[in-house]
Amino acid sequence: MFGFRPKVHVTAETALPGRDTPIVDVSKLRHRIFGEPLDTEYPDSQIGFFALGCFWGAEKLFWKLPGVQVCTGLTGHAETVRVVFDPTAINYADLVQTFFEHHDPTQGDRQGNDIGTQYRSVIFTSSRDQQQTAEEMRTDYQQALTEAGFGQITTTIEPATPFYFAEGYHQQYLDANPGGYDCHVRTGVACPI
């Protein structure tokens, strides 16, 4: 009636073909907040990848944590932030806690006003330890949400795939545009572990 199309879940088989090269030459970009080059290499043990809706707000959420540097980008199917962290200042479980407590992991392919598979809830892991931590914490959060009368968590936990940075004008967007849209708020569900 209003021109809305039925919801279609995009899969790897039905997705439009992607690019073979990054959108932007990241070697020319520096982090607006931290001043670091965005193409700096870090060990996998110091990187987390989190998709929790629009990456503008997700990035701002994580850059406020001690020991964290965040860069935004697109994985191909979900808006994701790459979180580089100092394990002497913050641990991976703290990042997963922040992830679960600042979006609604039960919404499926959306967060707030943002609708579509690119806004789905995903943790991309780069090690077996990260995978185990994320799975255990998802189970604990599901128990807490169930006890509080909420629905099933739709967050998937998947091995990290190549990460592509977004265009420069998207980097640290809410720092450059403080009045911009941000759907990331505390869920009110405290860490159950």
As a whole number of angstroms, the distance between CA 166 and CA 156 comes to: 22
Residues 6+ apart with CB under 8 A from 118: 74, 77, 78, 79
> In this predicted model, what pLDDT tens digit does every residue of 51-98 receive, in sequence order?
776 665 666 666 667 776 655 443 346 778 888 899 999 999 999 999
| 54 a catalytic residue | yes
Residue 111, amino acid: Q
- Which domains does the chain show, CATH number per domain? 26-176 (3.30.1060.10)
Inter-residue contact 158 to 105 (CB < 8 Å) = no
Model pLDDT, residue 157: 97
The catalytic position among 54, 71, 183, 191 is 54
Q: What angle do CA 53, 141, 158 make, to 5 degrees?
A: 55
Residue that has been written with the tokens 């701002």 in this structure: 60
Which residues in the chain show pLDDT less than 70?
A: 1-24, 26, 28, 31-33, 53-64, 68-77, 166-193
Model pLDDT, residue 180: 56
Inter-residue contact 49 to 126 (CB < 8 Å) = yes
